[in-house]
């Protein structure tokens, strides 16, 4: 029995999750399912132009695992484009990354999910200051983790 797959860290969830060839009714199309982590691999490697080692670090997986994921993703996209199939982005084994913040006023550090918004919309949970900056994981002086 194979071991369960390790959770992959993703920093992006797409708003658009379905692509199909124009002019062909959906009922006539075969569908390819691209997992969320496969899309993240394409985003990091092909859109951001990062090397595979950096991509693997960002997704918190090994380089060989990243290589397998990106290979599978590219194969699926190529098949959909060449054979005129629809692409649905769904499923996978992933967890949404968190964003880390540090209050410049009181030094308090915390983390929130990426869906919680940008630094411009965040306030310190301790002192309510809007003077915050992006922090780094594991560097919380007073260490508190939310959501």
Express each pLDDT in 12-70 by its tens digit: 889 999 999 999 999 999 999 999 999 999 999 999 999 999 999 999 999 999 999 99
CB-based contact 106:51 (threshold 8 Å): no
Q: From CA 73, how far away is CA 35, in angstroms rounded? A: 8
CB-based contact 129:103 (threshold 8 Å): yes
pLDDT of residue 17: 96
What contacts 3, CB < 8 A, 6 or more positions away?
Answer: none
Res. 118 pLDDT band, cuts 50 70 90: low
Question: DSSP 3-state assignment of 59?
Answer: helix
In order of their start, the domains of the chain are 8-95 (1.10.10), 98-134 (no CATH)
Q: What is the mean pLDDT of residues 104-132?
A: 79
pTM of the model: 0.71
């Amino acid at each position: 029995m194979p071991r369960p797959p390790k959770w992959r860290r993703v920093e992006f969830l797409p708003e658009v999750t379905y692509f199909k060839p124009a002019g062909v009714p959906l009922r006539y199309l075969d569908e390819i399912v691209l997992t969320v982590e496969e899309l993240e691999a394409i985003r990091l490697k092909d859109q951001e132009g990062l090397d595979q080692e950096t991509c693997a670090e960002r997704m918190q997986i090994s380089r060989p695992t990243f290589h397998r994921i990106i290979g599978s993703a590219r194969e699926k996209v190529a098949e959909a484009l060449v054979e005129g199939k629809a692409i649905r982005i769904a499923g996978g084994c992933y967890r949404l990354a968190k964003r880390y913040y540090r209050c410049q006023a009181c030094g308090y550090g915390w983390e929130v999910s990426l869906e919680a918004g940008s630094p411009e919309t965040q306030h310190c949970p301790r002192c309510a200051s809007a003077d915050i900056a992006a922090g780094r994981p594991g560097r919380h002086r007073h260490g508190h983790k939310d959501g």
